[in-house]
Amino acid sequence: MPIRAACPDNNATVFASAGTGKTWLLVTRLLRLLLEDVRPDSILAITFTKKAAAEMQLRLFQRLREWAVCDDEMLKEKLGEIECPSSAKYLARARSLYEKLLLSPQPLRTTTFHAFCNDLLKRFPLEANLPPGFEVIEQGQEYEYRQLAWSTLMADAGENPDSSLASALDVLFTHCGLHNTRMSLESFLQHRSDWWAWTEKEQQPVDWATQQLQSYFSIEASLDPIADFFTPGRMDKIRLITDLLRHSSQPSEKKKLGDGLLQIAENKIFGEKEFSALREILLTKNNTIRKLRKASKKTAASMDENSIVTLEENWQHLAEDLITTIDLINRKNNFQLNCAWYEAGACFLRLYQAIKSQHRQLDFSDLEWQAYRLLNSQDDALWVQYKLDQKLEHMLIDEFQDTNPTQWRLLLPLLEEFAASNEKKRSVFIVGDEKQSIYAFRRANPELQITADQWLRNKLHSQQFTMATSWRSAPAIMDVVNQIFTDEKFAESLPDFKKHSTHKNELWGRVELLPKYENPDAPTPPESFRNPLKEPRGEPESAHDIKASAIATRITELIDDGTLITESGITRPVQYGDIKILLRKRTHVKSIELALQARNIPYQGSSKGSLLKTQEISDLISLLTLLQTPQDNLALARVLRSPFFSASDEDLIELAMQSGGNWFERLPKAAAGKPDEHPFARAEKYLQRWQQDSALLPLHDLLSKIYFEADILSRYQLAAPVWQRQQIRANLKRLISLALEIDSGRYPSMNHFLLRLEALKQADNDAPSEPTPDHKQNPVEILTIHSAKGLEAPVIFLADFGQENNKSSAWEALIDWPANTARPKHFLLQPATKELDGKTRKVQQRWQQKLDREKANLLYVALTRAQQMLIISASESKKKSSQTNSYDEIKTILEPIGSYNQDNIWIYETGSKPTPADLVKPVIKTERSTAPTALRYPLELSPPIFEIAPSRMDDQQHEAGEHDGRLRGIAIHYFLEKLSGATAWTDEALCYQIAADLNIENDHPDLGAWLAEARSVIQSFPDIFDAGNFETAWNELPILYRYKTRQVYGIIDRVVSYPDHVLLIDYKTHTVSSQHEARKISAGYQQQVEYYVQGLKQLWPDKDIQAKLLFTAIQYLHPVAIENGSENPDITETI
């Protein structure tokens, strides 16, 4: 490992192959910087995912913690591993770094590109012309905004049929159709950063783009390729060819062609019809020149040799001219198509941006582009860079091969500032691997790593390092990787591939290449018709199903045979959790899942955006729909059949047979007389209650209550297979999280929540995926290769090998942005294959080369995930593919180094296979460990809090026999608090508010009397409640103070401050009839009031504290005698 790359004195670029320890090296670089006493907040480490950033932070703190607790000899050894001096100074620093970072007010930043851009724009919103306090768009909202922008676009075009937008859409609809037009404009929106970069600083982007397009296509507006084709010279050629063919003695094809040409030659007006006819005669469907049959002896006898040569030459020249004209026609059509695409796309983008602006939101593309503009703007760039320059001194960038052009361009000003500054000691460190660049759909360009490497070497004198020795894989895996990628078939895709080696030369490894599974013959049609109501239509087994079954069988064999693997030096049997199945696409994932289910193999699926489509979440959505619209019979039927209530089909039939109203209204009648555990009885009990709660509770609280009361988690787990239970539990919990996440926890209404869920369900890319459960069974994991990047496993199945189809698609943006240029070179819409012109084809070919390279990168990433076992499978495709890394070609490449077994499985093994003798038995320690001295002494616990009993609690205690005594006390306290506040309340509003807050009926019979009593108290004591008679007053004043070894806490009903004293008022709502009775009751509150007084003395030590009890029933204010200078009462007596 090039440990010199971690030296903080070096600017370095590291090309690190898979599994070679780049994360360890990156963390080592961070450690070396910290050991040089670099401020943590002056370091910026950027990667591409939150998971990777968290992993980097975790590994950093793990190593720092090891340094903090190990002895001097071990610490010196660890410092030696990273080539750091082990002097006393560095030892002391190494030991203190863990604490220093934990307590640092400005921590070391390990972040993502988007988080960095967000922080930057939050810091300089005005300079970036953004509203302060903007938010990043939520999951699923982008889809909603796109839908709204599309609807607005269509409406604008309909209202203004003569506008340029309407004309542009008309051209797109004519060329592409409705669906492809929408797809092309969505692609324009997806590549908005490329459009912004291409048209940057242009006042009229569409006009400028049209001019660039016209220059590239070399098209004039007056061009008419068909009219220009039928020149007199070409007509003479047509007549000559016609004459030669018609006078040929060959009676069939040539005379037929001659007759066709004669009809064209005899016309005086030439248009598309004649051009198409000529095209059919001279060219094939693929626009290649149709070959004339070789002249027979009879034909040769009737035509001299010169005539035959003349015929063939003129045929060839005319066909070539025709191909040139067709290309010109396609070029003109594509020019018009792209002009329309620019017009409609720019309008679509403008609407989408306006919608986000109205909501003060940015998406990830906005974050990158606005950060780029901020750092490169002429007005504020220097100021922003100066402010950043005060902190940023060391930059580390991980996974640089995934950088897109916008990200590189926003980094350049920071790097240029590093290069221009000579006063400070600064450094740049980038890590990446071109072979692992697999995110072209996110605009990643691996060529930028080479560009960055050259820039850093020229400007900052950086050093380049290469890492090609794996710490992950067995030699068998590395041999297969080397065998494939050093073959000449991959020379163009991975031209700079260097042979890999491994540090684990003794580790046993095995690679298997399963036979290609073919589609079985079509089944024989049945002799008689089937009954579709009783017999489902049979689905013929496909090659994908057979392959999936073979994979499941092989997994079962590995587990049942107790196949041994070695991990961290320990040999053990392989488990389900050691196995990962990798797919390039999710197209056939269902076949694999069904095969695993059939063999009871626990697995975790790879269905993206599938959370809202799962059975359990659909049931809950049906429940919420039912609570909102009780007349929805289908929603009720689904809820009853779900594990909520587990009703049977017979139960539903019984409910359907009931008369009167919808099913929800029939439910009480159906439940009558049923035992409590019957589904109808339980449903009637809970659904009525939940419907009432849905009007009062926030959605998150409502779901929590439903989960608790119906024991949802347990019911669904019991209804599911064992291997699915943890996933179902995680899915159900995820729905509650969504209730908080949607609208950022602003308590969405149920209707709004259901609409958002429906929008999320339709948004394929933004829909929430199923969370990763905390499995106890360690299931087999099914992943796409993109998802598996950065992961590893002892056993890897590559399931859809050879099914790659990386051809670029029609009606998508075709971007050509060289890595060394500041803006794209071309921004085009890719037409259908038959409509390609030469200019567009050149751009497409360059893009296709990138896709071919990424296809090879995908294979490399998949193979290098394996630690010990790699099992490759493939199935026959209905469409024959000639891809360079197809199964048959790879099979040919690998055959020389392996051999076939009796089942026709190709196998390659290295190392000694572990045996049962290598198993390590767990050591059980029986001796008792001695606890550290500090743990032998009792802990000092925090003093308990003594709570002063609130007066309303005592009301209930004294009036245990009075009906609704507690409610009376709470209500009168509530009324007094509201009436003595600053807000003016009407009686109706106040009663409505208290009913809602206390969850009682609006027409409660006592509310009016209680309110009248409170108003009477307010009017009877103006000295206490009229603000003109005192300085300040507080209602429901909490008080907390320490007395000796205890904390005393209580709530005082009202405190009024006068110039010379403070008055404490405690309301008593007992229904007394005389002052004598009130004085008798007041004796029980002497101690409580003394607690209050002692607390207030600490707030107002210079004022006299007075206390009074206010009996509301008789408007009597009873003074409580407090002895001046008395000590606090003995709290222990009342505990």
Give the tens place of pLDDT for each residue, 345-396: 999 999 999 999 999 999 999 999 999 999 987 677 778 877 776 678 999 9
User: Which of 863, 888, 910 represents a domain boundary (last residue)?
Assistant: 910
- Which pLDDT does position 954 carry in this prediction? 43
Residue pLDDT, tens place only, 602-631:
888 766 667 888 888 899 999 999 998 999
Residue pLDDT, tens place only, 114-157:
999 999 999 999 888 999 889 998 767 888 899 999 999 999 99
Average pLDDT over residues 1066-1092: 89
Residue 403 lies in a domain: yes
Helix (H, G, I), strand (E, B) or coil at 504: coil
Residue 921 lies in a domain: no
- Which pLDDT does position 614 carry in this prediction? 86
Same domain (yes/no): 799, 757: no
Residue 328 lies in a domain: yes
Residue 743 has pLDDT above 70, yes or no: no
Higher pLDDT, residue 207 or 731: 207
Instruction: Let me know: does 403 contact 150? Beta carbons within 8 Å.
Output: no
Same domain (yes/no): 1042, 1098: yes
Same domain (yes/no): 693, 599: no
Name every residue whose Cβ is closer than 8 Å to that of residue 1048 and which is 6 or more positions away in sequence.
945, 946, 948, 1039, 1040, 1041, 1042, 1091, 1094, 1095, 1131
- Which pLDDT does position 258 carry in this prediction? 58
Same domain (yes/no): 818, 892: yes
Q: Report the range of poorest mean pLDDT among 711-720, 728-737, 749-758, 1047-1056.
A: 749-758
**Nearest CA-CA partner of 1106 in 1037, 1097, 947, 1048:** 1097
* 1077: CATH: 3.90.320.10
How many other CB atoms sit within 10 Å of the CB of residue 471?
Answer: 13
Residue pLDDT, tens place only, 1071-1083:
888 998 999 888 8
Average pLDDT over residues 764-770: 64
- Which pLDDT does position 241 carry in this prediction? 74
- Which pLDDT does position 31 carry in this prediction? 96
User: Which of 338, 359, 380 represents a domain boundary (last residue)?
Assistant: 359
Average pLDDT over residues 252-276: 64
Average pLDDT over residues 203-229: 89
Instruction: Let me know: does 349 contact 145? Beta carbons within 8 Å.
Output: no
**Nearest CA-CA partner of 1056 in 1106, 1115, 1112:** 1106
Residue 931 has pLDDT above 80, yes or no: no
* 823: CATH: 3.40.50.300
Instruction: Let me know: does 62 contact 72? Beta carbons within 8 Å.
Output: no
Ramachandran category for residue 441: left, alpha or beta (phi over 0 → left; psi -120 to 50 → alpha): alpha
Helix (H, G, I), strand (E, B) or coil at 936: helix
Confidence band of 882 (pLDDT split at 50, 70, 90): very low
- Which pLDDT does position 769 carry in this prediction? 66
Strand partners of residue 511: 870, 908
Residue 570 lies in a domain: yes
Higher pLDDT, residue 1129 or 440: 440
- Which pLDDT does position 955 carry in this prediction? 43
Same domain (yes/no): 115, 158: no
Higher pLDDT, residue 535 or 619: 619
Same domain (yes/no): 837, 953: no
User: What does the alpha-carbon distance between residue 700 and residue 927 come to, in Å, rounded to a whole number?
Assistant: 50
Confidence band of 924 (pLDDT split at 50, 70, 90): very low
* 709: CATH: 1.10.486.10
Give residue 819's Cα distance to chain centre. Answer: 28
Confidence band of 104 (pLDDT split at 50, 70, 90): confident
How many domains, the chain? 5
- Which pLDDT does position 1132 carry in this prediction? 34
How many other CB atoms sit within 10 Å of the CB of residue 832?
Answer: 12
- Which pLDDT does position 747 carry in this prediction? 65
Mean pLDDT of the chain, nearest integer: 85
Confidence band of 566 (pLDDT split at 50, 70, 90): very high
Same domain (yes/no): 816, 832: yes
| % of the chain at pLDDT higher than 90 | 47
Q: Report the range of poorest mean pLDDT among 468-477, 646-655, 1037-1046.
A: 1037-1046
Residue pLDDT, tens place only, 302-349:
566 777 788 778 888 888 888 999 999 999 999 999 999 999 999 999
Token reading at 155: 């409406």
- Residues of the chain by 3-state class (helix, strand, coil), percent to 5: 55, 15, 35
Backbone angles phi, psi at 452, to 5 degrees: -65, -40
Average pLDDT over residues 805-832: 90
Same domain (yes/no): 193, 342: yes
Average pLDDT over residues 819-834: 93
- Which pLDDT does position 374 carry in this prediction? 92
Q: Report the range of poorest mean pLDDT among 73-77, 242-246, 350-354, 1096-1100.
A: 242-246
Higher pLDDT, residue 892 or 924: 892
Residue 1110 has pLDDT above 60, yes or no: yes
Q: Report the range of poorest mean pLDDT among 123-132, 294-303, 910-919.
A: 294-303
- Which pLDDT does position 764 carry in this prediction? 61
User: What does the alpha-carbon distance between residue 1095 and residue 1101 come to, in Å, rounded to a whole number?
Assistant: 10
Higher pLDDT, residue 1045 or 82: 82
Burial per residue of 612-626, b for 16 or more beta-carbon CB atoms within 10 angstroms, e otherwise: bebebbebbbbbbbb
How many other CB atoms sit within 10 Å of the CB of residue 444?
Answer: 20
Same domain (yes/no): 349, 369: no
Residue 927 lies in a domain: no
Higher pLDDT, residue 165 or 1047: 165
Residue 284 lies in a domain: yes
Same domain (yes/no): 744, 785: no
- Which pLDDT does position 841 carry in this prediction? 93
User: Which of 707, 730, 762 represents a domain boundary (last residue)?
Assistant: 762
Based on its alpha-carbon atoms, the radius of gyration of the chain, rounded to whole angstroms, reads 40
Higher pLDDT, residue 385 or 851: 851
Residue 939 lies in a domain: no
> What CA dihedral angle connects 500, 505, 508 and 512, to 10 degrees?
20
| Angle between the N-to-C axes of helices 364-376 and 113-123, in degrees from 0 to 180, rounded to the nearest 10 | 60
- Which pLDDT does position 753 carry in this prediction? 82
- Which pLDDT does position 963 carry in this prediction? 46
Same domain (yes/no): 587, 724: no
Which uninterrupted H or E stretch holds 1037? strand 1032-1043
Residue 336 lies in a domain: yes
- Which pLDDT does position 956 carry in this prediction? 40
Same domain (yes/no): 225, 187: yes
Starting from the edge strand earliest in sequence, which strands make up the sheet with 866-872, in order?
A: 603-604, 780-784, 579-583, 793-798, 866-872, 509-513, 906-910, 899-900
Confidence band of 464 (pLDDT split at 50, 70, 90): very high
Q: 374-378, 423-427, 897-901, 942-946 — which one is most confidently predicted on average?
A: 897-901
User: What does the alpha-carbon distance between residue 100 and residue 109 come to, in Å, rounded to a whole number?
Assistant: 14
Residue 589 has pLDDT above 70, yes or no: yes
Residue 471 has pLDDT above 80, yes or no: yes
Confidence band of 843 (pLDDT split at 50, 70, 90): very high
- Which pLDDT does position 1113 carry in this prediction? 92
User: What does the alpha-carbon distance between residue 865 and residue 1047 come to, in Å, rounded to a whole number?
Assistant: 59
**Domain residues for 894?**
509-520+542-606+778-910
User: Is the sign of the CA dihedral 1121, 1125, 1130, 1135 positive or negative?
Assistant: positive
| Angle between the N-to-C axes of helices 405-420 and 364-376, in degrees from 0 to 180, rounded to the nearest 10 | 30
Average pLDDT over residues 633-643: 91
- Which pLDDT does position 292 carry in this prediction? 72
Q: Report the range of poorest mean pLDDT among 42-56, 135-149, 985-999.
A: 985-999
Residue 247 has pLDDT above 80, yes or no: no
Token reading at 994: 């208290």
- Which pLDDT does position 371 carry in this prediction? 94
User: What does the alpha-carbon distance between residue 479 and residue 468 come to, in Å, rounded to a whole number?
Assistant: 13
Average pLDDT over residues 528-555: 82
